[in-house]
Amino acid sequence: MSRLPGWIAVCGMASALAANAAGNITGRVVDFLTGEGIERARVLVQLTPPGSDRPVTLVALTNSEGTFGVRNLPGVPCLIWSEKTGYLGGQNRTESQATIPISDVEASAPIVLRLTPQAVIEGSIVDPGGTGIAAWIKLLRVVPDKGGGIEFQRDLQVDESGEFRLAGLEAGSYYIEFAGPRALVNQAKVRAYAVRFYPDAADLRSARAIQAKTGAAVQLTLQLHVAPSYQIRGRVPAASQNPSLSLRLPGEPVAGMQFFNAAWDDRNRSFSFSGVPPGVWLLEANFTIDGNAVQGSRIVTVEDADVDGVTIEPAARAN
Amino acid sequence: MLRACGIGLALFGWVPLIVPAQPTADGFSLHGRAVDENGRPMAGLQITISDDKWKAASDPATTDPEGLFVFNGLGEGQYILGAILHGGTVFYHELPNSDDVVTTPAGPKQEGSQVLFRVVPHAVVTGFVRDEFGDPAAHAGITLFQGGWQDGRVVFSVVQTADTDDRGQYRIHGLHPGAYAVCAAVIPNPNGANAPGAIAPQPGIVDFQAHEARYYQRSCVPARPPAFFVLESAQRVQKDVVLAAARAFSVRGRVTNIPSETGASVSLARDDGLSVVPEPRSTGTSLARGTFEFEGVEPGRYRIEASVSTATGGTPLRWSGRQTVQVEAADAGEVEIALEPPARIDAAVHNLPSGAPADAVGIGLRSTAAASWTRWAQTAPDGSRDFESLEPGTYWLQTRTNGPLCVESVKFGGQEVLQGTVTLTAAEEARLDVAVSTQCAAIDGTVVSQGKPALLARVMLLLSGTAESPGDTFMSISGDDGKFSIVGLAAGRYLLWAWSQEELGFTGPPSLSELRNRGTTVVLTRGEHSAAIVPLFRSGVVQ
């Protein structure tokens, strides 16, 4: 059984084929690491029948050997891919999909679609007493293609059990930023938790990367620390409209959810963030003035008291 | 003024004096003790306090080793207590099947008393969703919903949604006690109806020529209605779901009488009262020629709605049309939906006292169609009210007032419709004349159960229509003495029912028609208060 190269861009080659030509496809879905057949993998064959402008998708299922078959296909190009829970297969990965002209498959060897086992990072977030607690997680990935740059991957709201699972990951290096539950906007002094990076770092530079491996799960316990809770209060320019405010650690990727809720008083053009632990924070605002998008930001240091009277002035036009 | 005491925030009493009175110089204090579900004191717990407008009344208090906490310097009034537990908030005396919270009074009568705050963790529903082969259904959509009363009927509302993870597992947390049902469905693909994830695979060799599309059905279809289950405080319930696959069909048709070049928006939704559950494949197509097609439609009764917005003289108008389709064992083709121009109603309010605020009178219309919501007239700064872009059809009239007002009459085309309906034709421009008065009637009622006052009971007043076909209804709740008050009513004959709010199962009857002979009739005279004794109805879980 020969292996088909990952991506064969032949769409359109079969357009001159007879519309009623029939073709058969056989193949096998295998584990990328072990080469063993995968049972009950979904194999999707997508094509646009002659005379139609809408694609049709057939879904086959592999047997205990990992093999599958589709027959009586019309003579048009088709895209074929496989997917299975627990694997990184799918339409967007080269090793698990192929585009083929049906006219060729009668004579061609069976197709091999390879599924890569996923990596998983899972575990629990606990309070200082070791009890699970509601929290927020941001998953950041080191991107080798970008010179080791770090980009936001996804965020996750963890419920009161504290248990979390980040599945469907590529093997690689990851960072995790985590924070306690958001403070209620009407309860400024509810207990706060410091924002941390795995394992227990105050910033990304001090954090340790997590090595996620193909087909393996990394188990983590992330512990939150109680911190004093303060408010940051201030105003935006009187002429601003539709302000959007965010508070984050300097150097933290911009994407993802906010760890802090901003309460907004439209009448006074004032805002407040509650439940903010001591630290150095980057306060950012996006708003419009005279119909123009404007940004503003400033560093706010919270020590042992509420910070009042913070003003944000327009710094640059966003567009 | 049609209003009731205790809506949203239920009043509740307090336990007898346990600690010495500690009145403070500049306000009242509120003492409490936090215990877990077994009655053991909870130490180090943060307790929050808000006023009845949800504004923080004080900084949080932290319980001592005996679970005791105190808030000082409070004004006399009602307060909402909450406990921060595992990062979430548990409110004092959460009610089953409701987001209502029970307030706690502070004032001279409560000085020295102590509130016992049972801080019970919220319940959790968890489970696995699998396909017909027993494999996990990853990223399936889970909808947890409850039945509740609205507009005189039971409606299903979404409590929470969740997705399954890669193991097919879901977890929905933070739940109040009550009756719930779980529905699972493959999440619609935003790219179109032919969502590969919703297509069920076919074992063995797949033959393109003989292929028949099978799709995963949502787990609650008319043939398999959702099974309600009761969730108690702190309970963890596992509800596994197996998604079945079935032959599915297409629904095709076209939209006619489109007023502009813009393509119409077409949606397809189940007509079974469970449209709150996402349709697996309800992503319709709106084509330039006005044609539409839905694929993967499983057998059932559907409502197809089409609409298009067009601007006439700068005013956006919504043309609309609808059609009901029964899908059985074949594709449904040639469904035609003719759009109709909207109707418009201008409403004039008469006898409004000078200085009355613009929101003193609310006028609403609710379609008599089974699943519909109330639209309220827009009030302009000059006090004029109108309804724009109303679909042709028949509507129940609804009125609400603030202040010392009641609506005594509503004329539509010269006919009295206060306790009736209005029917609108396409493009009709109509007028409502609403007469208000300060000579209002009221009901001072008591809910009783076995001869005793029934606290925290849900009270329903039927303002128009019948038990079989309710029109305008009003919900209230009894206080800690079983009493309730509904004011701002016009003279007339009304029906009242009451049912328990503290039962764990679904609260209330399956429908008012089940209780048509058990309502309490009250006849109101203009400007007078009337008493009513309303027996409490107890019910079980909706099956």
CATH at residue B431: 2.60.40.1120
From the CA of B48, how many Å to the nearest CA of chain A?
7
Please tell me whether residue A18 adopts helix, strand or coil conformation: coil
Boundary (domain end) residue, out of B118, B146, B162: B118
Reported as a pLDDT band with limits 50, 70 and 90, residue B540 is very low
Reported as a pLDDT band with limits 50, 70 and 90, residue A146 is low
The Cα–Cα gap between B252 and B500 comes to: 47
Give the pLDDT of residue B15.
33
pLDDT of A11 above 50: no
The Cα–Cα gap between B200 and B437 comes to: 63
The answer to whether residues B109 and B249 belong to one domain is no
Q: Which CATH class is domain A230-317?
A: mainly beta
Residue in B86, B202, B207 closest to A132 by CB: B86
Please tell me whether residue B514 adopts helix, strand or coil conformation: helix
Mean pLDDT for the stretch of residues A290-294: 83
pLDDT of B190 above 50: no
Residue in A46, A86, A160 closest to B87 by CB: A160
On whether any CB of chain A is under 8 Å from the CB of B244, the answer is no
Reported as a pLDDT band with limits 50, 70 and 90, residue B542 is very low
**Tens of pLDDT, residues B251-283:** 889 888 888 766 678 888 777 655 555 554 544
B543: in domain: no
Average pLDDT, chain A: 83
Nearest in space to B336 (alpha carbons), one of B450, B441, B258: B258
The answer to whether residues B68 and B194 belong to one domain is no
Helix (H) or strand (E) holding B381: none
On whether any CB of chain A is under 8 Å from the CB of B194, the answer is yes
B149: in domain: yes
The answer to whether residues B153 and B252 belong to one domain is yes
Give the pLDDT of residue A186.
63
Residue B424, strand partner residues: B393
Give the pLDDT of residue A190.
78
Q: Which CATH class is domain A119-227?
A: mainly beta
User: CATH classification of A13-115, choosing from 3.40.250.10, 3.40.50.2000, 2.60.40.10, 3.30.390.10?
Assistant: 2.60.40.10
The answer to whether B68 and B31 are in contact (CB under 8 A) is: yes
The domain of B198 spans 122-341
Contact flag A184-B48 (C-beta cutoff 8 Å): yes
Residue in B89, B166, B206 closest to A60 by CB: B206
Give the pLDDT of residue A19.
34
Residue in B133, B210, B211 closest to A40 by CB: B133
B472: in domain: yes
Contact flag A59-B201 (C-beta cutoff 8 Å): yes
Q: How many residues does chain A have?
A: 319
The answer to whether residues B394 and B249 belong to one domain is no
Contact flag B208-A72 (C-beta cutoff 8 Å): yes
Q: Are strands B206-207 and A67-74 parallel, antiparallel or unpaired?
A: parallel
pLDDT of A99 above 80: no
Reported as a pLDDT band with limits 50, 70 and 90, residue B481 is confident
pLDDT of B24 above 60: no
Contact flag B165-A162 (C-beta cutoff 8 Å): no
CA of A162: which chain B residue's CA is closest?
B86
- Structurally, chain B folds into a number of domains equal to 4
CA of A20: which chain B residue's CA is closest?
B209
The answer to whether residues B328 and B354 belong to one domain is no
Mean pLDDT for the stretch of residues A37-41: 96
Share of chain B above pLDDT 70, in %: 85
Contact flag A58-B88 (C-beta cutoff 8 Å): no
Sign of CA dihedral B84, B85, B87, B89: negative
The answer to whether residues B308 and B428 belong to one domain is no
From the CA of A26, how many Å to the nearest CA of chain B?
9
Ramachandran angles phi, psi of B512, nearest 5°: -65, -30
B542: in domain: no
On whether any CB of chain A is under 8 Å from the CB of B50, the answer is yes
The answer to whether residues B357 and B329 belong to one domain is no
The answer to whether residues B413 and B479 belong to one domain is no
Nearest in space to B401 (alpha carbons), one of B362, B456, B358: B362
Most A CBs within 10 A among B86, B189, B283, hence the mutation to make, goes to B86
The Cα–Cα gap between A79 and A91 comes to: 9
Nearest in space to B537 (alpha carbons), one of B489, B500, B482: B500
Tell me the domain boundaries of chain A: 13-115, 119-227, 230-317
The strand order across the sheet containing B406-412 reads: B378-379, B385-390, B343-350, B429-437, B406-412, B415-416
The strand order across the sheet containing B229-231 reads: B153-163, B140-150, B178-186, B229-231
Nearest in space to B490 (alpha carbons), one of B361, B386, B376: B361
Look up tokens 């409403």; give the residue.
B347
Q: How many residues does chain B have?
A: 543
The answer to whether residues B379 and B449 belong to one domain is no
Residue in A120, A159, A180 closest to B171 by CB: A159
The Cα–Cα gap between A245 and A242 comes to: 10
Most B CBs within 10 A among A85, A118, A126, A164, hence the mutation to make, goes to A85
The answer to whether A115 and A215 are in contact (CB under 8 A) is: no
Boundary (domain end) residue, out of B341, B362, B394: B341
**Tens of pLDDT, residues B81-139:** 999 998 888 999 887 766 777 888 898 888 778 999 999 999 999 999 999 999 999 88
Share of chain B above pLDDT 90, in %: 44
Give the pLDDT of residue B4.
35
**Matching fold, domains A13-115 and A230-317:** yes
The answer to whether residues B156 and B275 belong to one domain is yes
Mean pLDDT for the stretch of residues B9-23: 37
Rg (CA), chain A: 26
CA of A226: which chain B residue's CA is closest?
B87
Interface of B with A in 135-154 (CB under 8 A): 135-136, 138
pLDDT of A193 above 70: yes
On whether any CB of chain A is under 8 Å from the CB of B236, the answer is no
On whether any CB of chain A is under 8 Å from the CB of B59, the answer is yes
Give the pLDDT of residue B273.
59
**Range of weakest confidence among A115-119, A165-169, A235-239, A272-276:** A235-239
CA of A55: which chain B residue's CA is closest?
B194
Contact flag A160-B85 (C-beta cutoff 8 Å): yes
Identify the DSSP state of A10.
-
A290 vs A201, A242, A287, B28, CA distance in Å?
A: 42, 11, 10, 49
The answer to whether A85 and A75 are in contact (CB under 8 A) is: no
From the CA of B210, how many Å to the nearest CA of chain A?
9
**Tens of pLDDT, residues B283-340:** 455 556 778 888 778 788 888 888 888 876 666 788 899 899 998 888 888 899 999 9
A57: chain B residues, CB-CB within 8 Å: 194, 196, 199
The answer to whether residues B65 and B113 belong to one domain is yes
Boundary (domain end) residue, out of B102, B118, B134: B118
Contact flag A161-B88 (C-beta cutoff 8 Å): no
The answer to whether residues B161 and B245 belong to one domain is yes
pLDDT of B194 above 60: no
User: Which two tokens mark B8?
Assistant: 């949203």
Contact flag B87-A57 (C-beta cutoff 8 Å): no
Nearest in space to A56 (alpha carbons), one of A64, A65, A46: A46
